[in-house]
């Protein structure tokens, strides 16, 4: 059984490496998307599949003041 008390490091790593594949912010790393764009998705509906899960995750991280969790991963990608 998965330990749900800790964030999955693979998912967090993807948030700092995967780029938005379409739309106004195409090519922007998911962790760098503006909150306003993520809020729009939250209102209108996240896409199906993995991208939707990733966008919902970064939305929750940013709106709950947890973006600092991604900073060490962002520094490693440079």
pTM, full prediction: 0.86
Helices (H), 1-78: 9-15, 35-44, 49-63, 71-77
Count of residues in the chain = 78
How would residue 60 be classed by pLDDT, with cut points 50, 70 and 90? very high
Name the pLDDT band for 36 (thresholds 50, 70, 90). very high
- 4, pLDDT greater than 70: no
CA atoms of 38 and 8, how far apart (whole Å): 21
In this prediction, residues 68-76 reach a mean pLDDT of 88
Task: Give pLDDT, residue 41.
Answer: 97
Contact criterion met (CB below 8 Å) for 58 and 30: yes
């Amino acid at each position: 059984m998965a330990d749900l008390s800790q964030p999955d490091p693979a998912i967090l790593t993807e948030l700092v490496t995967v780029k938005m594949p379409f739309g106004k912010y195409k090519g922007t790393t998911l962790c760098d998307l503006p909150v306003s764009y993520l809020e729009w998705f939250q209102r209108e509906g996240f896409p199906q599949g993995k991208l939707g899960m990733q966008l919902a995750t970064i939305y929750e991280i940013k709106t709950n003041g947890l973006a600092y969790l991604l900073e060490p991963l962002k520094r490693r990608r440079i």
